[in-house]
Amino acid sequence: MPESRIILASASPRRAELLDSAGIRFQVVPGHIDESPLPAEQPIDHVLRLAAQKAREVAVREDGDLFIGADTIVLCNGEIMGKPSDTADAERMLRKLSGVAHSVITGYAVYGKRSDTLRCRSIETKVFFKNLTDAEIRNYVATGCPMDKAGAYAIQGGAAHMVERIEGSYTNVVGLPLCEVMETLREMGAI
């Protein structure tokens, strides 16, 4: 198969860095969809739906062969945590995550435009936070880092010291389960 033109349907610099680290040639074209959960939508269904919608929405607007969409949430005691709405919301999320295990779930979709083929999968990683002090939470939120991150933290950045351990894929917590995405791209003949 000739080299595929791969489009990452995401504005996330972290997702782009992960794909780049794997030697994948791609272009970035962010998707523009409503990311609100549907009534009674389960967390895994939510991330898979959004990932597929992002990939397909960009495929309608752009030339390309394969379109990768992804969506990441943090799930803590039944609450789906997306990106915080403001600093108070970021502080609330971090207080809730303090000292407890939670799940980071990323849904990804690879859409083959020529074949009209869609492959979707979700990956879950357990993350265990230490007990956070109010000062740690305030100082971290003051950096601005939490504001565009699901669950109000970035494991690869200023929040690394908050994480005691993880069970599962590290790259999933960053925002794209790279091993699984690469396997899907292989299955679809892109690499």
Q: With the C-alpha atoms ordered 41, 44, 49, 50, is the resulting torsion angle positive or negative?
A: positive
Q: Is the model's pTM score more than 0.95?
A: no
pLDDT band at 108 (very low <50, low <70, confident <90, very high): very high
pLDDT band at 3 (very low <50, low <70, confident <90, very high): low
Contacts of 37 (CB under 8 A, 6+ apart): 46, 80
User: Which residues are tagged catalytic?
Assistant: 71
pLDDT at 158: 84
Half-sphere exposure of 171 (CA within 13 A, CB side): 18
pLDDT at 103 over 90: yes
Residue 190 pLDDT: 86
As a whole number, mean pLDDT of residues 155-184 equals 95
pLDDT at residue 37 above 70?
Answer: yes
Q: 124, 134, 136, 123: which is closest to 163 by C-alpha? A: 136
